[in-house]
Homo-oligomer: A and B are copies of this chain.
C-alpha cells in the first residue's frame, strides 16, 4: 500500500532547520520556483487559463508515460477488480467541469518565519476545463466493499521527501470520493493532458486544494482504514507546532486576486498607472462555497469599497469582479478581499502555520500613479 517507502539521507538545506526568518530565499527554494510554475497575474484576464500558463506543482519529476503500456488498476476491497486502458476509460460516460485549482501552499513565502519548501507568493492558482469520467461510475463498476474506508490514489511519480522514498499517494474517504464532481480526467481545455499536467490520467477533485488531484494515476485502491502515508498525514496539515498533528488541509479557502493595473517595472513589478478613471479587475473563488462579496482598497486596506461581481465560470470555478477606480497621483497600495457564502473574509494578515498551508491573505499591489500621463 505505502509501497517502497524506504529511508535515505540527504544533505541539510540552509542551517538545517526547517524554517527561516530571512527575507531572502535559499538556492533550493529558487530551484523549486523554476520547476514549479505560477500563473502570471495578467493571465487572470482569461476565464479559462491557457494550458501553458496554468500553475504547476510537481513534487518529484514529471514521469514519462507511454499510452501503449499504461493501465489503470482498480483494486483492494472491491468485488470486481478492473484493469483499464485509456481507450476504455474514454469510452465511459464523460463530463466536462471548469475547476479552479489552487496549491495548498500558495502564499507560504509571505509568512514569517516561513517553512522551507516551494516558496509561493500569490500565484499558484488557475482555472481549466477538465474532461473525464466520474470516479463514482468506476467505483460502482468495481463494486467497493462496505468494509472500505478510504480510496487510495497512487501516481507514477516517485521521489524522496523528509528522507522517505515513496510514490506520490493521497486518499479520499468514501463520501468524498463518490461525489458527483470528482473526475478521472484525461483532457484539459479540450485536449489530451500535457505530460506536466498528469498525462494520461489524473484525479480532479473540484473544491479541494490541488494536492488531492493526484496526477499520472497508476492505481486506485479501496482500503479498510484511513491512509496515513507521508503526503497525507505528515504534510498538508494546519498545525502551529511540530508535536501536534493539527487538522488536515481539505477544501480551498476564499481568496481573490487582481490583474495588476498599468504597466510593470521589470525588477520590482511595481506598476505605473496614469491618473484618472480605470477599471481594475480580477477573479475570486471559495472552493465549494460561493463568493458573496469582493471589496477593493486603494489605501492598503484602511478602507474598502464594494467591487462588482461578474460571471462565475462554473460551480467550482472562480468569479470575475471589477472596480471602477479613480486613480489619484501618488504611491498607492491596492488590495482586494473576498467574502464567501459562509461569511468567511480574507484576512489582511495571515495566521501563522508551521507548514504554510491555506494562506489566503489579501493581495497587495504597489502602484505609482503619475500625472501627467507617463505613457
Contact residues of A with B, CB < 8 Å? 4, 6, 8, 10-11, 13, 22-35, 37-38, 40, 42-43, 45, 50-54, 58-62, 64, 109, 116-117, 119-121, 123, 158-161, 165, 194-197, 260, 263-270, 272, 368, 370, 374-375
A194–B64 Cα distance when bound, in Å, is: 24
Whether A30 pairs with B158 at a CB distance below 8 angstroms is no
| Residues in B whose Cβ lies below 8 Å from that of A375 | 4, 6, 158, 165
A195–B39 Cα distance when bound, in Å, is: 13
Closest to A191 in B: B191
| Residues in B whose Cβ lies below 8 Å from that of A269 | 28, 31-32, 35
Closest to A166 in B: B375
**How many copies of the shown chain assemble into the complex?**
2
| Residues in B whose Cβ lies below 8 Å from that of A109 | 30
A370–B7 Cα distance when bound, in Å, is: 11
Besides the known contacts A35-B269, A165-B272, A165-B375, 10 further A-B residue pairs in the complex with CB atoms under 8 A apart: A6-B375, A10-B265, A25-B30, A33-B33, A50-B194, A52-B196, A61-B260, A116-B267, A158-B263, A160-B264
Whether A266 pairs with B60 at a CB distance below 8 angstroms is yes
Closest to A370 in B: B8
Contacts A/B (CB < 8 Å), 17 sampled: A4-B375, A13-B267, A24-B26, A33-B34, A34-B37, A42-B64, A51-B51, A52-B52, A52-B54, A52-B194, A52-B196, A53-B195, A61-B260, A61-B263, A160-B263, A160-B265, A165-B375
A150–B42 Cα distance when bound, in Å, is: 33
Contact of A195 among B50, B64, B123 (CB under 8 A): B50
| Residues in B whose Cβ lies below 8 Å from that of A6 | 374-375
| Residues in B whose Cβ lies below 8 Å from that of A43 | 62, 195-196
Whether B374 pairs with A165 at a CB distance below 8 angstroms is yes
| Residues in B whose Cβ lies below 8 Å from that of A30 | 25, 29-30, 33, 109, 119, 121
Whether A40 pairs with B61 at a CB distance below 8 angstroms is yes
| Residues in B whose Cβ lies below 8 Å from that of A64 | 42, 45
